[in-house]
Structure 1
């Protein structure tokens, strides 16, 4: 997938999420289905996953090679990344991203701030995607907490799917 397509896909997925959250009943921000995260926790989780990605993409490129190595395999397409992620979720049903373990329920007064931060971080990521070289997208890798090291291009495609995954959960269950 071309980097402009990835940036556009992220725009689309975050737009759908934010539109849904802005019109959703405020009561659902602090309440969720039994044993599941609240809407606020879902939004906070997405913020906790995009913020570190933006932070690391601001670092010098030599850091990536030193810290994580280089890609040594063929790139996966979007559908393969989605299938691999769904398979990993099934195999690790109790897995929760470290930053999202024991997450407190965000207060309703924090909703506007969290949604605003999600929008800003999404725009920052889209900007960074368009500026990074195709070579770096394909050769530099980052660690994914569930799926291991992935080329940056794949992490970005996964990020778009991750937003869609949580948006669908919210639309179907909240």
Structure 2
């Protein structure tokens, strides 16, 4: 299991790598898409839409998280097991719920979205500091594809999630 500091380090590394990658794209690359695939700008907005609720949850009082979402009734899964289950759900056709589907993103929105995502990640990482290792393993929240996850599992998923969408951008651009 990843400890809290490793989670914070990987969240910071992966999200800021994604932000830097998106910011280095040309305007043409940012707006390019094929068929029904999202543009790089839409991928950025999707990531923002997914991180905002995490910040909200980690800003809540721990007792409210337990009351609203519950306590774990089994040990948390490892990063590798969780990743395998997530990829399986995607392969079965799992899609983002409407509230996480981005709208069209204009080139002019890139800077604001990138800066906002950076602020959200910094805030999330500072909020995580207020939770003990035990809290991360006991408190639960719902994931749209994976169901009830511990906070640690959700953060592990977030570490991979941004990497997954960065890879989608690269594949879409043939990079």
1:1-21 CA distance string (max 9 Å, x none):
100000001111012111211
2:152 corresponding residue in structure 1: 153
8 A contact 1:30–1:105 mirrored in 2: no
Please list, as runs of the form range in 1=range in 2, the aligned pairs for 1:1-150 lying within 5 A after superposition: 1-91=2-92, 93=93, 95-101=95-101, 103-150=102-149
1:26-76 CA distance string (max 9 Å, x none):
122222122101111100000000011101211111111211111011111
Q: Helix, strand or coil: the match of 2:141?
A: strand
8 A contact 2:4–2:133 mirrored in 1: yes
Note the C-alpha offset of 1:94.
5.2
CA distance in 2, matches of 1:66, 1:146: 22
1:58-115 CA distance string (max 9 Å, x none):
1111111211111011111111111110011112x152222134x3211111110000
CA distance in 2, matches of 1:100, 1:154: 19
Unmatched 5+ stretches in structure 1:
none
Q: CA RMSD in A?
A: 1.2
Task: Give me the TM-score of the superposition, normalised by structure 1.
Answer: 0.94
CA distance in 2, matches of 1:145, 1:31: 27
CA distance in 1, matches of 2:90, 2:128: 26
Paired residues, number:
172
Unmatched 5+ stretches in structure 2:
none
Task: Give me the TM-score of the superposition, normalised by structure 2.
Answer: 0.93
